[in-house]
A and B are shown apart, each in its own frame.
Chain A
């Protein structure tokens, strides 16, 4: 552990930690978005067909079946929801490290300019890069709401454990909830756009051969994730999915 604490002492090390935890969170957000595309799969899924080919279990909407799969994956090698909990712990550690480092480098930078400019400096860089800190806070608030909405069900109008599709429709039918989700996804999109480019710099992954692909990569995935995620509340809200 000492190499880690030693590395973390430095601001360059803190940014490397932010980059690595950012990659983990990015992987999650991408997988999460792709998983939710099951909302659009028509019909129902049957877990057990009997010998004659008729469904012997309760047919589930694809999204619910996917949710059940996430709880079962790894069984019987792992206990029930085992893999799910491993992922949750990794994500929680990543989020805490990411925010802790963000907080520390922000404080460091504020301390580095105790008396500011009278005439505010011109800014040459992207909106995305300038909003990393506030964007991060919006994402954090969103994640808390999101967990209370779909994981615990506390804030969901009509929550049923395991009825993923139904819960989603219930939540997004309320126009201001749908709007809040959309705003938060735009914030995430900006955060990802700068973050996905920035991590290459922070980890020193640059070479003349692929440098120009770094911002293409950041643009592409920021758009893919944002469009995907925004489509869910929009589809419910506009009645395309019911």
Chain B
């Protein structure tokens, strides 16, 4: 199949950037979307042009590296699918596709379709691990975890931190990501000692990065490749509000 692409080209963070039109030919419907871009890049290199930069790693839908907007939808039109797992059979010969990077103040464009999602790493660092030495791994069955809880924690832990939620959100808010990261630890017995501190520090880290405020539009849930539920946002809000109004601030740790 042949396609017309309008791709965001931006040489560097300082460059203004613009949409550039490309015709890509001879794409098989078995190719993934990223493979289609590989084909485009081959054709560009043949012509002596700069290939389109995009991020990717596993190409299995599990690492969260890939992602950009396809015709105004994060990761394209197929629900619960990252662009690396999106196949060209979901498109038609002659389709016109517009590709843009995630747009958010907290995700500066590095080049073309690649953005810097370091903000997510900093949110995870602010509360995503326990701050005490725990020694070697404990015996797995020592702490019983009810099945329903472990299932919910797993649902939250499925977040691959790709950034689609922020990209689609009209407010550019990072509530779905942050709430998934807060919740997968806050649901489990092992996460209880630091539950309220974690909610506080992760929400504060999130707001410091310059993301917008959640309006409960649920756009994020609609595009999340892992189907993370906005229930986790409510849960994070509850933990945060409770922490703000009742939790006793913890004393600083000894060095």
Contacts and interface: CB of A to CB of B under 8 A. Distances in A.
A36 interface: no
B38 interface: no
Of the four ranges (under 10, 10 to 19, 20 to 34, 35 or more), the interface on chain A belongs to: 35 or more
B207 to A, nearest CB: 6
A10 B125 CA distance: 19
Interface stretch (B44-52, B136-144, B168-176): B168-176
Closest 7 pairs between A and B when the two form their complex, measured CB to CB: A204-B238, A109-B212, A112-B212, A109-B171, A124-B222, A105-B213, A112-B172
Contacts of B235: 204, 206
Contacts of A198: 215-216
B241 A118 contact: no
Interface residues of B, number: 49
Interface stretch (A11-19, A47-55, A169-177, A223-231): A11-19
B19 A118 contact: yes
Contacts of B74: 121
B216 A119 contact: no
A124 B223 contact: yes
Contacts of A113: 103-105, 171-172, 212
B162 interface: no
A161 interface: no
B244 A6 contact: yes
Contacts of A3: 244-245
Interface string A195-239: 001101111111000010000000000000000000000000000
A95 to B, nearest CB: 19
B214 A15 contact: yes
B230 A201 contact: yes
Contacts of B242: 204
Given A119-B100, A121-B168, A122-B73, A14 B213 contact: yes
A108 B8 contact: no
A201 B215 CA distance: 9
A7 interface: yes
B222 to A, nearest CB: 4
Interface string A26-60: 00000000000000000000000000000000000
Contact of A16 (B100, B104, B212, B241): B241
Interface stretch (A85-93, A125-133, A149-157): A125-133
13 contacts: A3-B244, A12-B237, A16-B237, A105-B215, A109-B212, A109-B215, A111-B105, A111-B210, A112-B104, A113-B104, A119-B71, A121-B167, A204-B238
A129 B69 contact: no
B231 A118 contact: no
Contacts of B98: 118-119
Contacts of B211: 112
